[in-house]
A and B are shown apart, each in its own frame.
Chain A
């Protein structure tokens, strides 16, 4: 056993792997919609909650959900934070510039809140309750970052 004062021996292991996730029927439809600038939520037939992103079952009622409802790409900023720590960008594997704004957004027509980047990291420009609008990429791939971020509406 090492003593508490022994030298550290570090072993660095680098992995370069990728996964091919099966998205499931609901997420497939959702992402296909995103590729056409269409956001859809799925509604529970029992409690009526409109879930975004879609899940096959309502966790509260445990019933299958099959009814789709359109959701706007505008909404209300429910919460925001400005993050000052570097993070690894999940899409590129590279460090993401910081600080950056992160919002919790209730899109018009949904009952759940959606996490996404905010266009600004200036706290003076972010207010809970503010109206926000999605900013889309020009070329859409059917992924969540087809929406680059949300910006506060004038």
Chain B
């Protein structure tokens, strides 16, 4: 429960949420997927097109194979002749940008949309193109390589790390009801092929296609759909790490620690305990970095639905984590949740949202 003296610090209200079911290959086009979640989110919020003042979309040109990838969804998100901003990072960062706009008094209600389709091209190969073109691209380094290096450093003095990560991956996959990859045993994780040592295929969250939408609103406008049970965003924080990875920085998500402290300060969180915690972790070792950085304690439960191991898509992960936090908190009184997003290699970009119910 949120202590009484820490409540009512709402920055914005969450009016509606929707997401597609993540699949390895969604036959729909990107605009079709986005339209589905936009209409569902509007219905969830009991709002219409004209109630939305502005739009923030999250997409990455590189992953979509498009320049100005937001242009593909301009009509379906209702951004024609409206103020639209595109964020080329995790979808939760787009939500944070929308919070800023509402807090500034610029707009009352903002639609936030993220989409990603890993089925369109080899995802890990594409991430190599996100690197510095002169120095790193000739070397073929990609996000998976960084994850392997990060895991290797963490496992160096920890002989049980790999078996523990296999157990974590199996646990998450088993918790993911309807997950796109299905449950898996620890033995099968350990027998799965090495992809970037010490990481095995079974230790990687399955990445497919998905879209997600969240509608945020000014908590002070007396919206007709706002009730006492509605979820509010009480704290936001994000952080971008240094370009150069100093020795040791791969094994510490210091940027997440800074981001979460910013969110905790805004939300008045003095002790980070949450009814629900939803990290965006593609690999089990990232969960350990997450838990340490946000300060929830190593025994605190998180990812009740399997987290990203249920299946995720590029760009949507953080926004879909917010959706899950909101749905878990809705209807409960005086509870608090934490959603997390990340982007870039080895977690260089970090974003945190603290949500709560009155």
Contact = CB atoms under 8 A, between A and B. Distances in A.
A90 interface: yes
Interface stretch (A66-74, A104-112, A132-140): A104-112
Interface string B123-149: 011001000111111111110110011
A87 B140 contact: yes
A53 B136 CA distance: 10
Contact of A2 (B27, B150, B193): B27
Contacts of A82: 148, 194, 196-197
Interface string B294-308: 000000000000000
Contacts of B246: 49, 111-113
Given A81-B149, A85-B124, A2 B32 contact: yes
A8 B197 contact: no
B247 A60 contact: no
Interface stretch (B225-233, B237-245, B283-291, B322-330): B237-245
A59 B240 CA distance: 11
Contacts, number: 129
B212 to A, nearest CB: 18
A143 B138 contact: yes
Size category of the A interface is 35 or more
Contacts of B193: 84
Contacts of A87: 124-125, 128, 140, 142
Contacts of B242: 59-60
Interface of A: 1-2, 4-6, 8, 13, 19, 21, 23, 27, 31, 49, 51-53, 55, 59-60, 78-85, 87-91, 96, 99, 102, 104, 106, 111-113, 115-117, 123, 128, 143-145
17 contacts: A8-B25, A55-B243, A59-B242, A60-B242, A79-B156, A81-B151, A81-B197, A82-B148, A83-B148, A84-B193, A84-B194, A85-B144, A102-B139, A104-B250, A111-B246, A116-B139, A123-B197
Given A8-B25, A144-B139, 18 more contacts: A2-B28, A27-B134, A78-B153, A79-B153, A82-B194, A83-B196, A84-B193, A85-B124, A87-B125, A91-B138, A96-B140, A104-B149, A104-B153, A112-B247, A113-B247, A115-B145, A117-B140, A143-B138
